[in-house]
Amino acid sequence: MVASLPSLEQLQVPAQTHFDVLIIGSGAGGGSLAHQLAPSGLKILVLERGDWLPRERENWDADAVMQQGRYVSKDTWFDQHGKPFQPGSHYFVGGATKMYGAAHFRLRQRDFEELHHHDGISPAWPLRYSDFEPYYQRAEQLFHVHGLRGEDPTDPPSSAPFPYPPISHEPRMQKLVDDLRAIGLHPSHAPCGVMLDEINPAFSRCIRCNRCDGFPCLVHAKGDAEVCSMRPALQASNVSLLTRAQVKRLITDASGRTVTAVELERDGEPLRYSADIVVVSCGAANSARLLLMSANDKHPRGLANSSDQVGRNYMFHNSKAMVALAHEPNTTVFQKTVCINDWYFGSDDFDYPMGNIQMTGKTDGSIMKGYVPQETFFMPTWSMDKIAEHALDFWVSSEDLPDPNNRVTINAEGQIHLSYTPNNQMAATKLNNKLVSVLDHLYLKNHLVERQIYFKSTMGIAAVGHQAGTCRFGTDPASSVLDINCKAHDLDNLYVVDTSFFPSIGAVNPSLTAIANAIRVGEHLVERLGR
């Protein structure tokens, strides 16, 4: 059955219109919230800063995507020294999920509890894993997550199997899995959100290509928020979407307790809308920016910021993209099927959490030059293609700890200043060394080369894909921005549902937790509004 198209009235909304719920942002949080609310009959407006991402050949062109940054925003941010940089932000319907790798891990059960790290403490969440578990299950269903319970020793308890079967390993990945298991490790099928049907491949939307990670999906087979949330939500006539809508400010009433209007610009035209409930879901940095830009007499430090916590505790993981070169060719096409969490909470020789290892999309020459531009600047793409034929491509991720001095502020023009000092670096180093040691053990002994060659690209602050923490939720208004339902302590009708609410980030991709939480908050809003 072909889905019906949204009406013109759903996509061209008259100014001054009032809604039951207005959502700012259409990514993992905002899009999933709209999807959850759609069946309620509530009158919903989603405002998206970007437009629909164009479906074009360049979607899968590595030169265009990785080297030319075709879909990267033109934003300029500033670091703690005032140096400008271009963040790796993407503003489209579906938000950052249009370019993500669709890796959908649950936070581990202990991630919700107080954890002692080498460099400090990761604080306990005000809710526990059991509170999120049923919503994780629904999020996995919504975003077509494939996986297999029971392989990963750190996998948290689940009320049901994955909704879709694990994606099969190609021969080189199966050999890696077998080799890792032979030395006592527990590699598992990585939870991946794609619309793949391996039993009936002729009817599979996913074609199992090597353009899932860091690329938009030309055939709409990746589980992103546009495909899984926004398009289905727009099948309901009560949901409207306004693209190219850049929100400038939230206006409150005289008491400061209620958001009465949302001011924005669309194609240079100022517009204003209102709603009973206003939900911010712009990404951790931009959500903080919007609240800070909305300062008024009642909220002189920014909206919802009586605690002075808005913008603070910015996190984005200690991450490396690592390419390991072996003598043996790697013919894998869809490489994102393997993850390793054996050292997630430590090891015999390191008592502190280390983190997650997973495979990235398969590297080619253009992608590799995008990952490590300084190391490969003078190398032609064809030579990098030859190297990539022998590459195993890993993503190594450790937890960075919430630090109130790692924060988002704004200048007089409303531009983001991101002050960030890395922490918990020993854990990241230990995890990287574990992987290198294992690969050396597995593949050096029969090789013609004396040792492995490793390319490592550390993700700097411009890598904003895993940003979190700037509006943490909690029970104490003095130390948090949001309550346990993600409503601002200081206001009666303002919510935040992106990864801003995280008190800590864990070491796995934050997307599934954001989706699960949006479903949870959606349930709360339906109850609150009596639907």
Mean of the pLDDT values across residues 102-117?
98
Kindly state the tokens that stand for 70: 């075709």
Burial of 65 (0-12, 13-18, 19+ CB in 10 A): buried
Q: How many residues does the chain have?
A: 531
How confident is the model at residue 175, as a pLDDT? 93
CATH number at residue 202: 3.50.50.60
- Residue 291 CA to residue 279 CA, distance in Å, equals 11
18 occurs within a structural domain: yes
Question: Which pLDDT belongs to residue 449?
Answer: 40
pLDDT band for 207, please (50, 70, 90 cuts): very high
Question: Averaged over 478-482, what is the pLDDT?
Answer: 98
Say if 278 falls within a structural domain: yes
Give the model's confidence band at 2: pLDDT under 50 very low, under 70 low, under 90 confident, else very high: very low
Q: Is the four-CA dihedral 113, 119, 120, 126 of positive or negative sign? A: negative
Q: Count the domains in the chain.
A: 1
In a domain, 76, yes or no: no
Distance (Å, whole) CA 347 – CA 464:
29
Q: What is the pLDDT of residue 57?
A: 96
Is residue 7 in some structural domain? no
3-state secondary structure 224-260: CHHHHHHHHHCCCCCEEEECCEEEEEEEECCCCCCEE
Residues 338-355, mean pLDDT to the nearest whole number: 97
Residue 79 tokens, joined? 């670091």
Domain-located, residue 405: yes
- Tell me the per-residue pLDDT of 20-43, one tens digit each, with 9 for 90 and over: 999 999 999 999 999 999 999 999
Candidate from 7-11, 145-149, 268-272, 356-360 with smallest mean pLDDT? 7-11
Whether the pLDDT of residue 196 is over 60: the answer is yes
Is 507 contained in some domain? Answer: yes
Which element (helix H / strand E) includes 394? strand 391-398
Q: Which domain holds residue 451?
A: 14-54+87-528
Which residues are paired to 418 by β-bridges?
79, 408
Does residue 89 have a pLDDT over 50? yes
Q: What pLDDT, on a 0 to 100 scale, did the predictor assign at position 441?
A: 82
Task: Categorize the per-residue pLDDT at 10 as very low, low, confident or very high, splitting at 50, 70 and 90.
Answer: confident
Mean pLDDT of 514-520: 98
Please give the backbone phi and psi of residue 201, each rounded to the nearest 5 degrees, phi first.
-60, -30
Residue 64 lies in a domain: no
* Ramachandran area for residue 240 (φ above 0: left; ψ -120 to 50: alpha; else beta): beta
Start-end of H helices in 38-170: 62, 129-142
Q: Is residue 208 part of a domain?
A: yes
